[in-house]
Structure 1
């Protein structure tokens, strides 16, 4: 079956890569999800490591094929889902198998590169329930995820990912590892959850505000963080960022030099700024 460009499909065919990726999923994992199994290169290897195995496939033609592939192995607890990872109700992964909501989920995926970042942000929202992920990205995105402060790859997505996970590049794959071959190299990134968040440990609403704050700080990479926040302040849900005085006060309280650029700050500094702005938001006086 031919790959569909509209779905960003590039099917993995390198057996050594398959074994490496599957090996990142602990044997006997209580719940494993594969997103976008495609032709099933990874699927059998992942299923063997899972007590409950779920897959999520968007492609109308591939879904019945992959469902039959695993269904025919008599896996004791197999749940195939037909849908889009950008819209899927992930609660179904626990609800439909009848698993306790605190059952840890391991995710493995060769993500479609055209929507990989959007899917990642949805998974990051579930960090309390996902201790490990092995995800494939185009190399440029993968390097950004694992980047260090002060490097050109370091940015908004880095801080978002590293807030709750240690991110490492486990494997680099050349285009020939796929059919059809993409035009770029690919990487497998391993996400291991931290014991505690580096910057934001709040709930879903606070995490969403944190992501918007960090995005605003990186929106104008050539500008200082003070000027970036002045430009973007009206679009962030925090009071006091509409004036230079308010921005300067918030940065000072967070221990951040206003002349600094966002790419030099570790995630913890963004966390300090969030703490200051959250306190001002709760007081409702617009003063950090």
Structure 2
């Protein structure tokens, strides 16, 4: 990949503030071939090592991180931050994911940190909002220290991930919608991946759990997170994500049922029957 010249950035690095260093990383995420040259990276790494970022509060770093996340290639910003050591200072929970295996199809496992980078780039290709990109950045952080005997699987990572997402949100001052979607994705991403049309009752329970009927916008953002995660795996970049369509059809089948003056149990049964009919499933509950 050819380097995009960054002469102003190099000049600023003679004695730059911490935010200038972050803006150099952000600049790498814009344009088709953005890259920071080796000399500048080495200087940035030396300055990080010497404590350039120490006076910077994480909340001061968030606007630059958000700008890079919303750029055309967010992974380039994150790679630059990682190469100079800044990622480990600002987001050690994300840095810890690199080198951790995650189960996949072919190959049978992938590097989890690299997978997250592919996720945010896929979100950029889909022109997803900031909350979706932030959720993809954070929802895997509970997997960094999964017991090695279980790898590449990550049991109970949600319990480890929740306090880490909350800690990151507190440090950076993340917007409430970003935190909300990241926590929702932490709990529901893998469940959405396992959704099946032959379990209408389970689909209804999921729709109710994620508040799909009252908050359809957030529901669609969750499906966008899941679709980006799915397509970030090798060989899936151009594939459709059928689970999104499945859950959207299930939600549409239930439209209007919530207006009936009936008990919650009766409403859930009515929704399950509606979903079973819409999906052609004989197993409407479980």
Common fold by TM > 0.5? no
Q: What's the TM-score bracket when you normalise by the shorter of the two chains?
A: 0.3 to 0.5
Give the TM-score taking structure 2 as reference length.
Answer: 0.33
Task: Indicate the structure with greater strand content.
Answer: 1
Q: Normalized against structure 1, the TM-score is what?
A: 0.32
